[in-house]
Amino acid sequence: MRSLADYERRAKDHFAPDAWDHVQSGADAGLTLGHNRAQFDALRFMPRMLRDLTGGTTALDLLGHRHAAPILLAPVAYHRLAHPAGEVASIRAATALDTTMVVSTLASITLEEIADCARGAAHELARDLSPLWFQLYFQPDRAHSLELVRRAEAAGYQVLMVTVDAAIKRSEFALPAGVSAANLAAFPRTIQRAQAAGGQIVFGTPLADAAPTWDDIAWLRGQTQLPIVIKGLLSPEDAREAALQGVDGIVVSNHGGRVLDGLITPMAALPAMVAALEGKVPLLLDGGVRRGTDVLKALALGASAVLVGRPQLHALAVAGMPGVAHMLHMLRAEFELAMAQAGCRELSQIGAGLLA
């Protein structure tokens, strides 16, 4: 286990085949999935040598909180697909490594239990609690969305990440017994696969009609004081609109290549978004981050931080809580090493000049 890829290789044997396929797969032909990795490999560093590295640090202030490193765990549904302990194991590991894990609406354990667990772990390990983030999927019924927000506020979550790129998504994966969307247990299963009029297949169905719009963002902005981070934008126009709507952060993401195959990669989209936002709103990025050098490249192009998705489940499946901690340790070690080798002592030194 010398890199995240080693966990990935071994993880396959720890999943049921259809769950593994569900976790790993990309939409359609998986082009975007592949491009997400390739986007990093295509960039080259122009390093600086012989610079003073004493007092170096990877620390980051983001939305009013300090993070030990510019690396977060992306919201990923149903951790119990990977390990019976599910999100509880993952958040303990994240806490041990001073890392924020964004808790998904579709967590297989309730958001309250996960938050409690994080606090417990911080206490046990006698360290500060990393900021708690909750990822919201809009529910067909606004009352339900609001209920989730209120529960997250009550449970001590400090940031709300609203994922907007996966409202309309095909999936043929059926959850195994014992794994379910714990946060949604009380809501009726609202979206039926109703037949649309005139031979249409998507348009005209409740799925399309209930998909969130900018109106929903405006509404949500009016409902909560928590910082709102929109996850899943790729176009500079959308970035500008988000800024206008008072959004506090954006995750540049194509949902790990799981939704629309052929999407631009986050790294390709990032520069225009940076330009469009003029620094008003911090940009995070995910999709294919597997190496410390990937993190460095994303920051060099203007991201404030990155998130990692699938590797959480790989490490969790292979080795439970310690696996996730080890995975995070390796990624952070690689990132520190890459910074040092490239001549950067702090995040502010990482800029476009670092890329050839």
Judged by CB under 6 A, the chain residues 141 through 170 that form the site for ligand FMN are 163
Which amino acid appears at position 272 of this protein?
A: A
308 contacts ligand FMN (rule: CB under 6 A): yes
17 lies in the site for a copy of itself, by CB under 8 A: no
- Residue 79's binding partner among a copy of itself, ligand FMN, none (Cβ under 5 to 8 angstroms by kind) is none
Q: Which of 87, 238, 248, 286 touches a copy of itself (CB under 8 A)?
A: 238
Nearer to ligand FMN, 122 or 175 (CB): 175
Asked if residues 246 and 217 have their Cβ atoms less than 8 Å apart, the reply is: no
CA atoms 93, 96, 99, 103: torsion sign: positive
Closest CA to 74 of 288, 271, 238: 288
Among residues 291, 310, 314, 326, which is the contact residue for a copy of itself, using CB under 8 A? Answer: 291
Pick from 79, 92, 297, 310: which binds ligand FMN (CB under 6 A)?
Answer: 310
Task: Enumerate residues 239-268 that contact ligand FMN by CB under 6 A.
Answer: 253, 255-256, 258
Nearer of residues 165 and 248 to a copy of itself, judged by Cβ: 165
Shortest Cβ distance from residue 257 to ligand FMN (Å)? 7
CB of 318 to a copy of itself, least distance (A): 20
- The encoded tokens of residue 6 equal 């080693």
Q: Which of 208, 219, 221, 243 binds a copy of itself (CB under 8 A)?
A: 208
Segment 141 to 200, residues that bind a copy of itself, using CB under 8 A: 164-165, 168-170, 172, 198-200
Would you call 230 helix, strand, or coil by DSSP?
Answer: strand
DSSP 8-state class, residue 137: P
Tell me the backbone φ, ψ of residue 307, rounded to 5 degrees.
-125, 150
CA 351 vs CA 48, 163, 345: distances in Å: 12, 27, 12
Residue 202: φ, ψ to 5°: -110, -55
Among 91, 93, 106, 267, binds ligand FMN (CB under 6 A): 106
Give CA–CA dist 67/89, Å, rounded.
Answer: 20
Q: Of 68-76, 192-200, 273-281, 293-301, which part binds ligand FMN (CB under 6 A)?
A: 68-76
The catalytic position among 14, 255, 314, 326 is 255
Q: Are 160 and 134 in contact (CB under 8 A)?
A: yes
Decide if 303 contacts 43 (C-beta within 8 A): no
Name every residue whose Cβ is closer than 8 Å to that of residue 108 and which is 6 or more positions away in sequence. 77, 78, 79, 80, 81, 86, 87, 179, 180, 181, 182
Should residue 237 be labelled a site residue for a copy of itself when binding is judged by CB under 8 A? yes
Nearer to ligand FMN (CB atom), residue 23 or residue 129:
23
Alpha-carbon gap, residue 278 to 77, rounded angstroms: 33
Question: Which of ligand FMN, a copy of itself, none lies near 45, with the C-beta cut-off 5 to 8 A by kind?
Answer: a copy of itself
Q: Are 347 and 335 in contact (CB under 8 A)?
A: no
**What is d(CA 238, CA 211) in angstroms, rounded to the nearest whole number?**
16
- Smaller CB distance to ligand FMN: residue 172 or 278? 172
Q: Find residue 306's DSSP bridge partners.
A: 71, 285
255 in catalytic set: yes
User: C-beta of 323: minimal distance to a copy of itself in Å?
Assistant: 18
Residue 92 lies near ligand FMN (rule: CB under 6 A): no
Examine residue 58 and tell whether it contacts a copy of itself (CB under 8 A). Answer: yes
Q: How far is the CB of 93 from a copy of itself (least distance, A)?
A: 13
The residues binding ligand FMN (CB under 6 A) are 23, 36, 74-77, 104, 106, 135, 163, 231, 253, 255-256, 258, 286-289, 308-310
- The residues carrying an active-site annotation are 255
